[in-house]
Structure 1
Amino acid sequence: MTGGSLLLPVDDPLAVAVSGAIRGGDLTTLRRLLTAHPGLATARLVDRPAGPDVPGVRSRTLLHVVTDWPGRFPHGAATVAVLVAAGADVDARFAGPHRETPLHWAASCDDVDVIDALLDAGADIEAPGGVIGGGTPLADARAFAQWRAGYRLVVRGARTTLTDAATLGLLDRVEQAFTGVTRPSSGEVDAAFWGACHGGRQSCAAHLWERGARLDWVPPWEHRTALDAAVRRGAVELVHWLRAQGGRTAAELGHRPPA
């Protein structure tokens, strides 16, 4: 026990059993294990160090197991309810390179049912710490093209940045961003334009281009221009439009990723 939480190596028989019950949607076994092992609901599963090139030890909660990739496990929403009723912390953090909550992971897996279950249980929809710039669950959803999750988070009240709105194709919110006293910075416009192309949202991309977005901007998180992003998305009409405006790929620009 450390800090009040039971620590279990991921290959411990109890960790294997409870993880298997969660991934298989076996609520009967899950309830039995939670009853037989007090404190299991708040346990942390600890990854053994992978070697000298992987510093530190990572750990996750059982709610992270529910929401782990690829997600959408059987009876996921009911599993969340069982774990929360047993004392699981809905906003517990992954301990590792990033600090994602279970809601971040559910958003990254497009698991709408589990998103609803977590939010119904009180999860913080604006929790920071995501893999994408330390952002919110919505930032993870739109960055990983998990559109159902992104729209669901918006419906449930998530705040949208300009990039969020552009990537999801929420043109009204993109337009509104330019009506206030404080206008978006050039960097925000560039990032939102890239996001619109990543999402295949031509109307948003056109609106942002008219407001000064740079066609050939390459973001720090990915070695692709807006044209590259649109090609990857398969947005044929948007690709033609970008070419017509003079858009180029990173390869055509001779842009190389940092060493």
Structure 2
Amino acid sequence: MEFIYEDDTLAVAIVQAIQTGDIPSLKQLLVENPGLARTRIIGRNNSKESGSCKMSRTLLHVVTDWPGHFPNSSATVGVLVEFGAEVNARFTGSNTETPLHWAASSDDIEVLDALLDAGADIEAPGAVIADGTPLDDAVAFAQWRAAHRLVERGAQIALWHAAALGQLAAIEAYFAGSTLSERYPWGVSRSSPPDKITVAFWCACHGGQRRSAEYLLDRGAELNWISVWDGLTPLDAAQRSSATDLVQWLHSQGAKSAGEL
């Protein structure tokens, strides 16, 4: 595996070509530097010695880096894959996210589709959010377009995903005995998880989904549960999402903010 420092002339040139959507320059660099599509970019605080890099990213991570939505990004993904980029390569550092995780976290539908079309693993673990999937990232970071697209493309959903996305039919099917993914939401301990319905209710409020919230409250969700990941109640989460109608309804049910409890 090859590494280049982020301030090397070649690294600066390839990142600029990617993030400006300069496809001709990108292709020229890849042709002139065989293997470049599989190279990892590292900072100066890392070593190029094999296996000793504390943090590195691939060129497909550059395409999907925050804030995403770079010009010609779908074509850029295609060119990099054509020249040998590994679509499921992992970031190395505090997490092991794939480029698809990053696209989901940036709500970048164009790149997300291009990666999936190129064979990206829609269920890849490794997210910064509880080592989860790209869908976990999208829902946790309120990247709703990406979350819905991932579901459209076949991502497995758990009850909390369905609640956050307003997938009422899936929620109703769950209570009728249908099986959903058992994946836990971000920050929830697998050894002593809170009530699944309460967590789903909180996620419905996080997603601004009043119908989902009403349905789950009717089925025993705790109205004023304080989440384990950010210390917010369902009311706090709905206010953060600017879900005015949901906030009003929650107030009518006696919901309180964390500061009032």
TM-score by length of 2: 0.89
With over 3 angstroms needed to count, the CA separation of the structure-2 counterparts of 1:116 and 1:181, relative to structure 1, is: closer
Q: Distance in 2 between matches of 1:151 and 1:33?
A: 35
Aligned residue runs from structure 1 range 1-259, under 5 A: 5-49=1-45, 57-180=54-177, 187-253=195-261
Q: Name the amino acid aligned to 2:19.
A: R
Query: Which residue does 2:188 correspond to in 1?
Result: none
Q: Distance in 2 between matches of 1:20 and 1:181?
A: 48
Q: Helix, strand or coil: the match of 1:100? A: coil
Structure 2 gap segments, 5+ residues each: 47-52, 183-192
Q: Name the amino acid aligned to 2:220.
A: G
With over 3 angstroms needed to count, the CA separation of the structure-2 counterparts of 1:74 and 1:181, relative to structure 1, is: closer
Q: Distance in 2 between matches of 1:14 and 1:91?
A: 23
* Aligned-CA RMSD value: 1.7
Q: Identity percentage over the alignment?
A: 56
With over 3 angstroms needed to count, the CA separation of the structure-2 counterparts of 1:228 and 1:98, relative to structure 1, is: same
Q: Distance in 2 between matches of 1:211 and 1:29?
A: 58
1:191-214 residue CA offsets vs partner (Å, 9 max, x unmatched):
211110011000001111111111
With over 3 angstroms needed to count, the CA separation of the structure-2 counterparts of 1:111 and 1:80, relative to structure 1, is: same
Q: Distance in 1 between matches of 2:43 and 2:237?
A: 34
Q: Helix, strand or coil: the match of 2:41? A: strand
With over 3 angstroms needed to count, the CA separation of the structure-2 counterparts of 1:226 and 1:48, relative to structure 1, is: farther
1:143-164 residue CA offsets vs partner (Å, 9 max, x unmatched):
1111111111111111111111
CA contact (8 A) 1:42 1:62 kept: yes
Q: Distance in 1 between matches of 2:82 and 2:2?
A: 17
Q: 1:95: how far off?
A: 0.4
Q: Distance in 2 between matches of 1:226 and 1:39?
A: 49
Q: Distance in 1 between matches of 2:90 and 2:110?
A: 20
Which 4+ stretches in 1 moved above 6 angstroms? 181-185
Q: 1:181: how far off?
A: 7.4
Q: Distance in 2 between matches of 1:89 and 1:190?
A: 39
Q: Helix, strand or coil: the match of 1:227? A: helix
CA contact (8 A) 1:168 1:196 kept: yes
Query: Which residue does 2:189 correspond to in 1?
Result: none
1:109-151 residue CA offsets vs partner (Å, 9 max, x unmatched):
1111111110010000011111111111111111111111111
Structure 1 gap segments, 5+ residues each: 51-55, 254-259
Q: 1:47: how far off?
A: 2.4
Q: Distance in 1 between matches of 2:161 and 2:124?
A: 15
Q: Distance in 1 between matches of 2:35 and 2:73?
A: 21
Q: Helix, strand or coil: the match of 1:177? A: helix
TM-score by length of 1: 0.90
